[in-house]
Amino acid sequence: MPRYVVNNPEQDSDESSEEEEEQEQNGQAEPEAEEEEPAQAHPAKRQTISLQLGKGQLVCHVCGKSGHNAGFVGAAYIDCPNKPCYLCKKTGHTTMTCPYRVAPELGCNQSTSVSSDGILATLRNREQDGRHREVRRSHTKWLVETAVLRLHSRRCTCLEFHPTRDNIVVSGDKKGQVAVWDFHKVTERSVYNTNKALTNYIRFLPSSDGAACCSSATDGTLKELDIETGSHKELLNCNPGGWIEGVSNEKTWNMLYGMGVSWRRGMIACGDSQGRVFFLDRRQADPICVHQLHKKGNKVTSADFHPVDRDLLLTASNDWQAKLSDMRMLCAPLMPGHKGKGQIQPPIELFSMSHPKVVNSAWFSPVTGQKIMTTCIDNRIRIWDTLFNADQPADREIVHSHDFNRYLTPFRAEWDPKDSDEREIIIGRYISEDFGGVALHPVDVMDGGTGRLVAEMKDPNLQTICPVNKPHPRQDIIISGSSSSLYAWSPASPDEEMEDLQTLPNEAL
Ligand SMILES: [Zn+2]
Ligand SMILES: [Zn+2]
């Protein structure tokens, strides 16, 4: 039986007033209008419910035309006749009959490291990898072991595991809070009011006691935080004058988003809402430099340092690009307003990976850093098997439902850092399925080498969408952030797993 704990029972009324929570609970989703388009794209359109005009005349909220209806009814999706399939964006079938619903691997090129072609593949793998490795067996059934309900006062936006203390997870939320939770002791948690607005990323920093981490937030600050005491200090403030009534607006207010930390270089890279990336060393007051890596006016949605080659940085943005940059080309301070410094910056970009829509994240594979994985809101996870191919089309495009138009944290596929083959990936699913009469949004465990679905993690008590997920770096634990709560999943016992395999023939092994 899973152990649940509720953090703030008295906040019940507060909680249900939030728009996204209500929408998540009742499953009324309306596809199509994206929230996050690049500057040149159409402004986001949000419609809430189907209108009925006159005597029962229907107006479709997907295409805006009258005479029909479309959208989710529970877990079933009614297609708009004027639009392609909501999942794969292709025509010729409905969303409910989309072949990718049961086989996301359809049409995928297989990774060359997938040993499905006998002795030659085994020999090639041995040559490439140099030694025999145990093949990691994926778990096919996961159960919620513990949960902390309403840990946050608003929806969870990011998660990070402690680098050395196995049972500690740190999470951020829409209000700017940072929470620390011990998922083995369940009731042990702290919540700090670190930021004034949405905490976008949390990353741990090298420190003697392991308590230092930093957060990037929509209030435009990058802060160093002590998770033991909650004390924090500002490393960067993009809006030092604060919000000035009548002067400040959405264009002048600068927000901080994608953020990565290089432990090897002792460096922080933090992207903003203007397409720029700040490079900082926490021992010095001012940033080292700032580079316009992405198109002006577009959010930098993620920043990731290469795990082995400390000269490489990978960023993603609302400008529909993921970019690989060479840190050796960084130059001396180029902060606006610094005297005597030239404004000409050398190109640090190596490759740009174009996408058809906004890229939510781009990550190097966690062990060798040889692969790149991006999550794009065109419902595709893209994987490049080697960095050398990063200027070519992706080796694999996996169709997966993560496009949405609600107030949710953008979905990001995450690598499982324990998988030395660098194949297992975790991502929350937007579209729901009917599981015994209940509409659930599973968290998917997938094989990035083949595109196959390995496991769908679901629990009848968890009916909200889980956009934020992180696999543990050392243990078989996955934490999901859903609404204001956190859930810790662990693999089912072998007996329970067998039961599941007998009832779910479609699940890949
Ligand atoms: Zn329609
Ligand atoms: Zn389809």
How far is ligand 1, taken at its centre, from the CA of residue 332, in Å? 54
Counting residues of the chain whose pLDDT is more than 70, the rounded percentage is 80
- Rounded to the nearest angstrom, the distance between the alpha carbon of 436 and the centre of ligand 1 is 29
Which listed ligand is nearest to 31 at the C-alpha?
A: 1
pLDDT of residue 29: 39
Q: What is the pLDDT of residue 507?
A: 44
Give the per-residue pLDDT at 225: 96
Q: pLDDT value at position 53?
A: 45
Ligand 2 centre distance from Cα of residue 86 (Å): 6
How far does residue 408's CA lie from ligand 2's centre (Å)? 23
Q: Residue 116 has what pLDDT?
A: 52
Arithmetic mean of pLDDT over the chain:
84
Query: Where residue 115 falls among pLDDT bands split at 50, 70, 90?
Result: low
Phi, psi of 128, deg, nearest 5? -70, -40
Distance 90 CA to ligand 2 centre (A): 5
| CA neighbor of 112 nearest in space, from 366, 412, 455, 370 | 370
Residues with CB under 5 A from ligand 2 (ion): 85, 87-88, 98
Q: What average pLDDT does the segment 316-326 reach?
A: 96
Q: Using the predicted structure, report yes or no on whether residue 176 has a pLDDT greater than 70.
A: yes
pLDDT at 23 over 70: no
Task: Give 35 Cα–ligand 1 centroid separation in angstroms.
Answer: 19
- Distance from Cα 150 to the centre of ligand 2, integer Å: 35
- Local confidence band at 242 (pLDDT 50, 70, 90 cut-offs): confident
Inter-CA distances, 267 with 107, 234, 462, Å:
40, 15, 38
- How far is the C-alpha of 228 from the C-alpha of 180, rounded, in Å? 9
For residue 341, what pLDDT band results from cuts at 50, 70 and 90? very low
For residue 384 the two structure tokens come to: 């490049």
Helix, coil or strand: residue 338: coil
Lowest-confidence segment of 255-259, 327-331, 463-467, 483-487 by average pLDDT? 327-331
Does the pLDDT at position 12 exceed 80?
Answer: no
Gap from CA of 323 to ligand 2 centroid (Å): 29
Q: Domains in the chain, start-ordered, CATH in brackets? A: 101-117+139-239+253-503 (2.130.10.10)
Q: How far is the CA of 272 from the centre of ligand 1 (A)?
A: 36
Q: What is the Å distance from ligand 1's center to 81 Cα? A: 6
Q: What is the pLDDT of residue 427?
A: 98
How high is the pLDDT of residue 125? Answer: 65
Q: What is the pTM of this model?
A: 0.85
Residue pLDDT, tens place only, 411-470: 999 999 999 889 999 999 999 988 988 999 999 999 999 999 999 999 999 999 999 999
Ligand 1 centroid, distance to 172 Cα (angstroms): 37
pLDDT band at 344 (very low <50, low <70, confident <90, very high): low
User: What's the pLDDT tens digit per position in 130-148?
Assistant: 655 555 678 889 999 999 9
* Dihedral angle sign, alpha carbons of residues 319, 321, 323, 329: negative
Is 508's pLDDT higher than 50? no
Ligand 2 centre and the CA of 324: distance in Å? 31
Q: Which ligand is nearest to the CA of 50?
A: 1
CA of 53 to the centre of ligand 1 (A): 15
CA atoms within 13 A on the CB side of 115: 16
Q: In the predicted model, what is the mean pLDDT of residues 178-202?
A: 94
**pLDDT average, residue stretch 261-275:** 94
Nearest ligand to the C-alpha atom of residue 401: 2
% of the chain with per-residue pLDDT over 90 = 57
Residue 66 DSSP code: B
Nearest ligand, CA 69? 1
| For residue 238, pLDDT beyond 90 | yes
Say if residue 20's pLDDT is above 50: no
**146 neighbors 189 (Cβ within 8 angstroms):** no
* β-sheet bridge partners, residue 316: 302, 322
- Which pLDDT band holds residue 129 (cuts at 50, 70, 90)? low
For residue 102, the CA-to-ligand 2 centroid distance in Å is 11
pLDDT in tens, 389-402: 899 999 999 999 99
Alpha carbon separation from 299 to 242, 272, 294, 500 (Å, rounded): 20, 6, 8, 42
Residues lying with their CB under 5 A of ligand 1, a single-atom ion: 60, 62-63, 70, 80, 82
| Residue 248 per-residue DSSP state | -
- Nearest 10 degrees: Cα torsion 154, 156, 160, 165: 60
Q: In this predicted structure, what is the pLDDT of residue 339?
A: 47
**Among all chains, which residue has been given the structure tokens 């608003």?**
154
User: Which ligand is the nearest neighbour of the Cα of 81?
Assistant: 1
Span 41-84, pLDDT tens digits: 333 344 444 444 444 678 887 888 888 888 877 777 888 888 99
SS (H, E, C) 169-214: EEEEECCCCEEEEECCCCCCEEEECCCCCCEEEEEECCCCCCCEEE
DSSP E strand stretches across 273-327: 277-280, 289-291, 300-305, 312-317, 321-326
Report which bound ligand comes closest to the CA of 59.
1
Average pLDDT over residues 293-321: 96
Residues 6+ apart with CB under 8 A from 482: 156, 428, 462, 464, 465, 466, 467, 468
Q: How far is the CA of 96 from the centre of ligand 2 (A)?
A: 8
pLDDT > 70? residue 506: no
CA distance linking residue 404 with residue 360, whole number of Å: 12
Rounded distance from Cα 491 to ligand 2 centre (Å): 31
Residue 379 CA: which ligand is closest? 2
Tell me if 483 sits within 8 A of 475, measured CB to CB.
no
At residue 139, the 3 state secondary structure works out as coil
Q: Where are the alpha helices (DSSP H) in 272-424?
A: none
